[in-house]
Amino acid sequence: MGMLVKGRWHDEWYDIKSSGGEFIRPDAQFRHWVTSDGLSGPTGDGGFLAESGRYHLFVSLACPWAHRTLIFRVLKQLESCIGYTVVDPIMLDKGWEFSEVSKNSPEEGLDYLFQLYTLVDAEYSGRVTVPVLWDKQQRTIVNNESSEIIRMLNSSFPSSRDTWDYYPALLRKIIDRVNQRVYHTINNGVYRAGFATEQSAYEKAFDELFGTMSWLEELLSQQRYLAGDQITEADWRLFTTLIRFDAVYYGHFKTNLKRIEDYHYLSNYLRDLYQQPGIAETVNFDHIKRHYFSSHTMINPTQIVPKGPELDFMRPHDREDY
């Protein structure tokens, strides 16, 4: 993993030492919005009108942040409206890479994702991340912040308004409150534990992670989903971490107090989400396991990918009872 510095690629890990051994995730830099009228959204500039065929996603099937956008593309029935390109699962000294089989891109001649960033800004400095929402008309990056992309997919495109609203006005305060805790302690919390280089930083992240897991277990003993009796954005943001937890984070990131399978309500809830129409097809455990165990050589220098565990998310669940 590396980064661009004034448009030049540097094979450089996160500067965790300067933050006392604690992993701090940098903010995404491209924050424009696709809107139904082409006017500016909450951040960034306008000029990005929601139109079928105009936008394209660059994603990794391994990445939980990118996974969110693929889920919303399916949920909102935008498959014919927005195409996507998948990067290779293993990310090494040149960052996210395109192999011959993954070069179905609207931009020709790309071997690495960082080249897409420098097409937009030849002097770009920062991390090169997925997902990327690309505007084929303006040949620019609209947004590379997953939480904002899924909100655009939820409501900006005409066809998306004919489907379920995953960020309804009446539940937004609850959703935002849940999102904030889940992001810090679970979505990013597994990385804070896994990338920590000091015992105290690791233990802080570990304790916060499993404190929130216990809170979620209690919450889900009383209601079917995180905001009540309907699925919302909050559930899908949590889902992409939970689905990777037992296969990767439990061992690779040393978050090994409990597996998701050890929680009655969380494990049933996870199967409920996995079994929603179209969701299982967005999950690729081959990419997930190969990415984490082969890319993070500072954690797993042998790059050996575990054969297990056996996971069955199609087993019956009991969530209809809540």
- At 51, list the tokens: 């139109």
Residues whose CB falls within 8 Å of the CB of residue 313, separated by 6 or more in sequence, listed in order: 243, 270, 271, 274, 275, 280
Contact 217, 210 (CB under 8 A): no
**Residue whose entry in the numeric block shows the structure tokens 């992240």:** 205
In order of 147, 187, 284, the CA distances from 72 in angstroms are 11, 17, 16
Catalytic residue among 167, 183, 191, 322: 191
User: Whose CA is closest to 144, among 129, 165, 154?
Assistant: 129
Peptide bond into 301 cis (omega under 30): no
Pairing between β-strand 126-127 and β-strand 3-5 as defined by DSSP bridges:
antiparallel
**CA 304 from chain center: how many Å?**
24
Do residues 147 and 161 lie in contact, with contact meaning Cβ atoms separated by under 8 Å? no
Is 81 annotated in the active site? no
Can you tell me the distance from the alpha carbon of 44 to that of 237, in angstroms, rounded to the nearest whole number?
23
Helices and strands of the chain, counted as H and E runs:
10, 7
Parallel, antiparallel, or unpaired: how do β-strands 140-143 and 8-10 relate? unpaired
Instruction: Match 């939970």 to its residue by tokens.
Output: 242
Task: Point out the catalytic residue in the list 55, 63, 117, 250.
Answer: 63
63 among known catalytic residues: yes
| Cα gap 131→149, rounded to integer Å | 9
| Identity of residue 161 | R
Phi-psi group of 228: left, alpha or beta (phi > 0 → left; psi -120 to 50 → alpha; rest → beta):
left
Give the catalytic positions in this structure. 63, 191
